[in-house]
Chains A and B, each alone.
Chain A
Amino acid sequence: MTSANYVIIAYAVGLGLLAFCAAKLWIDLRAAGRKTRGRGGVS
């Protein structure tokens, strides 16, 4: 494998993992927000 391939894999995996974390957090936040509203809390 060439050096350029390692660079592409590093950026794809690194940024992909962080994007996954951010997306998961966003989904959890939306779910937590719905639960809060369902309890009659913060709207």
Chain B
Amino acid sequence: MSTAGTNIFVRIYWAATVAMFALALAVLFTYTPTESTMGPIQKIFYLHLPIAISTFIACMVSFIASIGYLSTRKTEWDELAAASAWVAVQLCSVVLITGMLWARGAWGLWWTWSPRLTFSLVLWLLYVVYLMIRMSIESTERRAIVGAVYGLIAFLDVPLVYLSVRLMPDMHPTSVELAWPMKLTLMAWFVPVFMLAGGLIAAKTVLNRRQGEPSPSVAGFPAFPARGAL
């Protein structure tokens, strides 16, 4: 596809993502019924769950790309792994923030060291450290190898986050029975969140490729002295 064609596709993609978010918000505030047990606070669920699932997917993409790099040594895999890890950090931050607000409204506390919450915080920390390790290594090849090996290890926390609530006693809800309008709302939120996550991974991968070195900053924060690892 030509550059102009690509630009048009990208613009349409992001316009559609914004439109889907607007639609999802409209559905949430005009159509979705209030849950009988928890009340209005349950509405955080429609943002919290799709972003949590997107975090897992971003981590999995990073994991697969790390395997791809270690088996082929092609830089494209490394760029994808780094981009996915960066997106996973952003998404996981939102999961933690929305989860804390939900916990405050539903349980009356901001945080509790329950298994799922703890493993989720550990997941966020693991991928923040992944980004920091990459920024601290100057050599491109060495950074890619260390990043790929670390990416494989960091991913091991994802199944722990998923299974913790099923295998250990936890305050966090496991599965919730939803009425049909609630399921529809959840689907309306999954679409734009997946589109956003996919778009961010693709854009960040392109940015890594264009720069030929790590991104100068992480989500707007100043770069470390050793630039270039994302």
What residues of chain A have their CB less than 8 Å away from a CB belonging to chain B? 2-4, 6-7, 9-11, 13-15, 17-18, 20-22, 24-26, 28-29, 32-33, 35-36, 42-43
| Chain A minimum-CB-distance residue to B87 | A21
| Chain B minimum-CB-distance residue to A42 | B3
Apart from A10-B97, A18-B200, A22-B196: 14 A-B pairs, beta carbons within 8 A: A6-B102, A7-B41, A10-B44, A10-B102, A11-B25, A11-B47, A14-B94, A17-B90, A21-B90, A21-B200, A29-B210, A32-B210, A36-B210, A43-B3
Determine the chain B residues whose CB is within 8 A of the CB of A25 once the complex forms. Answer: 200, 203-204, 207
A11 CB to closest chain B CB (Å) equals 6
- Would you call B90 and A26 a contact (CB within 8 A)? no
| Chain B minimum-CB-distance residue to A16 | B94
- Would you call A10 and B98 a contact (CB within 8 A)? yes
Chain B contact residue count (CB 8 A cutoff)? 37
Determine the chain B residues whose CB is within 8 A of the CB of A22 once the complex forms. Answer: 14, 196, 199-200, 203
- Would you call B51 and A7 a contact (CB within 8 A)? no
Instruction: Name the contact of A18 in the complex, choosing from B43, B90, B104, B220 (C-beta under 8 A).
Output: B90
- Would you call A4 and B102 a contact (CB within 8 A)? no
User: Is there a chain A Cβ closer than 8 Å to B33's Cβ?
Assistant: no
Determine the chain A residues whose CB is within 8 A of the CB of B207 once the complex forms. Answer: 25, 28-29, 32
Determine the chain A residues whose CB is within 8 A of the CB of B102 once the complex forms. Answer: 6, 10
Given A3-B41, A14-B51, A21-B90, A9-B101 contact (CB < 8 Å): yes
A5 CB to closest chain B CB (Å) equals 8
> Would you give 29 A-B contacts (Cβ < 8 Å), ordered by A?
A4-B40, A6-B101, A10-B48, A11-B25, A11-B47, A13-B101, A14-B51, A14-B97, A14-B98, A15-B47, A18-B90, A18-B94, A18-B196, A21-B90, A21-B200, A21-B219, A22-B14, A22-B200, A24-B217, A24-B219, A25-B207, A26-B203, A28-B207, A28-B215, A28-B216, A29-B206, A32-B207, A32-B211, A43-B3
User: Is there a chain A Cβ closer than 8 Å to B93's Cβ?
Assistant: yes
User: Is there a chain A Cβ closer than 8 Å to B68's Cβ?
Assistant: no
User: Is there a chain A Cβ closer than 8 Å to B56's Cβ?
Assistant: no
Looking at A4, A18, A42, which has the most chain B CB atoms within 10 Å of its CB?
A: A18
- Report the separation of the CA atoms of residues A18 and B203 in the bound assembly, to the nearest whole angstrom: 13
* Chain B 2-20 interface mask (CB, 8 Å, partner A; 1/0): 0100000000001000000
Instruction: Name the contact of A10 in the complex, choosing from B3, B14, B21, B101 (C-beta under 8 A).
Output: B101
| Chain B minimum-CB-distance residue to A28 | B207
User: Is there a chain A Cβ closer than 8 Å to B181's Cβ?
Assistant: no
